[in-house]
């Protein structure tokens, strides 16, 4: 019952994020929305190709998809009441995947099924679909996950989901699929391969199916998602013993096959969102630039848990959110590093290397500083996998972190942080970032994606954020107590 309640509270929390931002609020939404509405799978398919100079082309896309963000993006004091109304007009644009081809396209094809002339309804349906998808994946894992993996997920996910992942899950950005895909590919893949002997037959095959679905989400949403799936596969194989790989043949084949497909997709697509082959920067000091970029990479971890602004990098989170997030990640990391095995250490090095190498390579290629080119959401998928691996206690290890007082202190702070982040996001679009919180006689200029009911939904989402974190803490406690009666033989791991 607690597992079901945990997934439901996550869905309710995401429901708050769904209505707390206007159409076009997530990064590069003009690109993504135009790509969705102009997809060949869109029921309306309203976009007309307009040939351009030098063999190029543009599309006539619905005005709302192209211009919804224009009036408020990069202007944190501007509310969302300025968003353009749909009047049936079209706008010429070449900022869409059908022209630039920067993304694999699977995400746009699926989302286009929800496209219609009702733009608020369509965007709501897309956001709700993503929210439901991640909630169902979480629920499935909570029911089939081996105890040692569940303990890792129950510690990590409430921390690293706040606030960026929750915002992205409740948006129309393809990074939502990349983040949830990489997260659950690691969890389901590890569960099927390493935790095979502790699973029933049904749970084993459900884990295989979950890993394949998660890989599909990551591979078809962003090109770097394909690279991350391949890296995560390497980490899974490293942490598995030969006996475990032999005992989970079907799972091993499924995980490795996913990595092969991901690698081929990555090689075929190229760098994708990294941009064109042209060099953006002009730095001539490649060595110094390399050192600078390497030293700057850790800032993306802080950015993922509140240090980076949301939206079009114009919705800054309060210091409380970023500080609590970084403290929680640090606490989990230092505990996790204290429980180490050789296989786990190598897997951590592989994931950490990917975390550092990805932004540094992209920035060096463009001869530009990494902070000017890479965003925290690009690295969040592999950062989550890295932290899951760090906190993972491979059986037969039974240690659990923290006595109750520090654990629930941390849980309380994270719960407050999640609720505060949701309110701050809504406040920015409703009142403007400069307006004080809860000021008297302050009238909202924008009342949410669904109008007046949105404010009640956001309150429910904030309460659900509290419940989600505390239910995960309760589940963790149950798993730790249950682990006292588990035997290493049941989990298929030799000391």
Residue at 287 is within a domain:
yes
**Strands 48-51 vs 57-62: parallel, antiparallel or unpaired:** antiparallel
Q: What pLDDT, on a 0 to 100 scale, did the predictor assign at position 481?
A: 66
Residue 333 makes CB contacts below 8 A (sequence gap 6+) with 387, 390, 391
How many domains does the chain divide into? Answer: 1
H-state helical runs in 20-146: 29-37, 63-67, 97-100, 106-111, 119-144
Burial 153-185 (b: 16+ CB within 10 A, else e): bbbbbbbbbbbbbbbbbbbbbbbbbbbbbbbbb
Which residue from 71, 51, 73, 68 is spatially nearest to 60, judged by alpha carbons?
51
Question: Helix, strand, or coil here: 93?
Answer: strand
Residue at 390 is within a domain:
yes
How many whole angstroms separate alpha carbon 146 and alpha carbon 244? Answer: 14
Residue at 247 is within a domain:
yes
Q: What pLDDT, on a 0 to 100 scale, did the predictor assign at position 46?
A: 67
Range of the domain at 301: 2-483
pLDDT tens string, the chain, 495 residues long: the values are 889 999 999 999 999 999 999 999 999 999 999 999 999 888 876 688 888 766 678 899 999 999 999 999 999 999 999 998 878 889 999 999 999 999 999 999 999 999 998 999 999 999 999 999 999 999 999 999 999 999 999 999 999 999 999 999 999 999 999 999 999 999 999 999 999 988 999 999 999 999 999 999 999 999 999 999 999 999 999 999 999 999 999 999 999 999 999 999 999 886 544 444 444 555 545 667 888 888 888 899 899 999 999 999 999 999 999 999 999 999 999 989 988 889 999 999 999 999 988 888 888 887 888 888 888 999 999 999 999 999 998 766 555 555 667 778 889 999 999 999 999 999 999 999 988 887 667 788 999 999 988 999 999 999 999 999 999 988 887 776 666 544 333 333 333
Helix H or strand E encompassing 60? strand 57-62
Long-range contacts of 297-300 (CB under 8 A, 24+ apart): 297/355, 297/356, 297/359, 297/360, 297/370, 299/371, 300/359, 300/374, 300/375, 300/376, 300/378, 300/379, 300/383
Residue at 494 is within a domain:
no
Which residue from 418, 468, 455 is spatially nearest to 8, judged by alpha carbons?
468
Burial 257-286 (b: 16+ CB within 10 A, else e): ebbebbbebbeebebbbbeeeeeeeeeeee
Q: Bridge-partner residues for 58, per DSSP? A: 50
- Dihedral sign for Cα 4, 395, 304, 102, please: negative
> What does the block give as tokens for 68?
């919804």
How many whole angstroms separate alpha carbon 29 and alpha carbon 484? Answer: 49
How many whole angstroms separate alpha carbon 428 and alpha carbon 227? Answer: 35
Residue at 490 is within a domain:
no
Q: What pLDDT, on a 0 to 100 scale, did the predictor assign at position 172?
A: 97
Residue at 488 is within a domain:
no
pTM of the model: 0.92
Residue at 6 is within a domain:
yes
Question: Helix, strand, or coil here: 172?
Answer: coil
Q: What pLDDT, on a 0 to 100 scale, did the predictor assign at position 108?
A: 97
How many whole angstroms separate alpha carbon 175 and alpha carbon 173? Answer: 5
Residue at 489 is within a domain:
no
How many whole angstroms separate alpha carbon 36 and alpha carbon 113? Answer: 9
């Amino acid at each position: 019952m607690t597992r079901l309640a945990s997934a439901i509270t996550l869905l309710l929390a995401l429901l708050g994020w769904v209505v707390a931002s206007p159409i076009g609020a997530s990064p590069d939404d003009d690109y993504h929305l135009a790509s969705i509405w102009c997809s060949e799978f869109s029921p309306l398919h309203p976009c007309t190709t307009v040939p351009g100079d030098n063999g190029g082309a543009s599309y006539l896309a619905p005005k709302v998809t192209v211009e919804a963000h224009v009036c408020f993006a990069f202007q944190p004091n501007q509310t969302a009441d300025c968003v353009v109304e749909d009047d049936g007009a079209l706008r010429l644009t070449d900022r869409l995947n059908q022209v630039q081809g920067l993304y694999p396209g699977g995400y746009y094809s699926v989302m286009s099924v929800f496209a219609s002339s009702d733009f608020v309804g369509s965007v709501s349906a897309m956001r709700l679909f993503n929210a439901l998808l991640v909630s169902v994946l979480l629920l499935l894992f909570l029911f089939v996950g081996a105890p040692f993996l569940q303990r890792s997920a129950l510690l990590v996910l409430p921390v690293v989901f706040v606030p960026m992942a929750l915002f992205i899950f409740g948006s129309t950005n393809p990074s939502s699929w990349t983040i949830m895909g990489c997260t659950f590919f690691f969890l389901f893949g590890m569960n099927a391969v390493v935790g095979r002997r502790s699973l029933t037959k049904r749970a084993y095959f459900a884990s295989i199916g979950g890993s394949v679905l998660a890989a599909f989400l990551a591979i078809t949403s962003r090109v770097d998602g394909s690279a991350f799936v391949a890296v995560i596969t390497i980490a899974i194989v490293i942490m598995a013993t030969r006996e475990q790989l032999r005992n989970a043949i079907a799972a091993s084949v499924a995980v490795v096959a996913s990595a092969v497909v991901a690698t081929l997709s990555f090689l075929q697509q190229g760098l994708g969102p990294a941009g064109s082959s042209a060099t953006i920067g002009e730095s001539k000091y490649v060595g110094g630039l390399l050192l600078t970029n390497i030293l700057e990479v850790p800032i993306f971890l802080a950015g993922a848990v509140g240090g980076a602004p949301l939206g079009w990098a114009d919705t800054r989170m309060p210091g409380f959110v970023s500080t609590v997030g970084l403290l929680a990640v640090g606490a989990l990391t230092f505990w996790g590093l204290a429980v180490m095995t050789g296989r786990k250490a190598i897997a951590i090095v592989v994931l950490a290397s990917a975390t550092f190498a990805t932004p540094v390579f992209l920035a060096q290629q463009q001869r530009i500083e990494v902070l000017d080119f890479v965003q925290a959401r690009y690295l969040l998928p592999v950062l989550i996998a890295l932290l899951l691996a760090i906190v993972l206690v491979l059986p037969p290890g039974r240690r659990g972190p923290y006595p109750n007082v520090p654990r629930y202190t941390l849980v309380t702070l994270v719960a407050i942080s999640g609720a505060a982040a949701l309110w701050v996001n809504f406040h920015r679009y409703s009142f403007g970032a400069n307006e004080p919180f809860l000021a008297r006689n302050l009238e909202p200029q924008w009342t949410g994606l669904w109008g007046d009911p949105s404010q009640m939904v956001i309150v429910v989402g904030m309460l659900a954020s509290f419940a989600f974190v505390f239910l995960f803490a309760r589940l963790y406690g149950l798993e730790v107590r249950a682990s006292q009666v588990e035997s290493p033989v049941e989990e298929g791991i030799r000391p």
